[in-house]
Amino acid sequence: MSKQKKSLYGYCAITADFLHIGHIRLFEACRLRCKRLIVGIMTDECVESYKGKKPVMDFVQRSQLVLSVKGIYKIFVQDSFEFPHHVLTLKDVYGDDFIIFDNEKHNRLNADVLIPYLEGISSTKLKAEYL
């Protein structure tokens, strides 16, 4: 199998209410395909709109956790569930050197690569079980 060329930048979006193994596996899968992974962290308001309840940790705490993960280049503020305009604009500017990732469960419009969803692992499920 020939080695696939990595894109320069990759982008994925998460809530990261509890950073868990599903997030780490997503990051690992994305990093296999790009040199610099940018992670969109959904704002508190976006999480509440999408999930119907406020996140346990606020945006700053969730962002600090994600930034502490090895291989994360930077984070973006994401204020909608769908990929925001500024991310799509970067795709227009960088072309194949900017790849947008999503998981198979969400399958959002404009995703270039779908990463398999790790069934049974979710922040919502963890909150329901332990809080």
pLDDT at 84: 94
pTM above 0.95, yes or no: no
Look at residue 125 and tell me whether its pLDDT is greater than 50.
yes
pLDDT at 124: 62
Domain positions in the chain: 7-130
In terms of Cα–Cα distance, which of 109, 108, 105 is closest to 120? 105
CATH superfamily of 7-130: HUPs (3.40.50.620)
d(CA 68, CA 66): 5
The beta-strand segments (E) located in the chain are 7-14, 34-42, 72-78, 98-103, 113-115
| Neighbour-count burial for 56-86, b at 16+ CB within 10 Å, e otherwise | ebebeebbebbeeeeebeebbebeebebbee
DSSP letter, residue 35: E
Each residue of 33-75: pLDDT tens digit? 999 999 999 999 999 998 898 998 999 999 999 999 999 999 9
Q: Are the CB atoms for 31 and 81 separated by under 8 Å?
A: no
Edge-to-edge strands, sheet with 113-115: 72-78, 34-42, 7-14, 98-103, 113-115
Look at residue 5 and tell me whether its pLDDT is greater than 50.
yes
- Rounded to the nearest integer, the mean pLDDT of the chain is 90
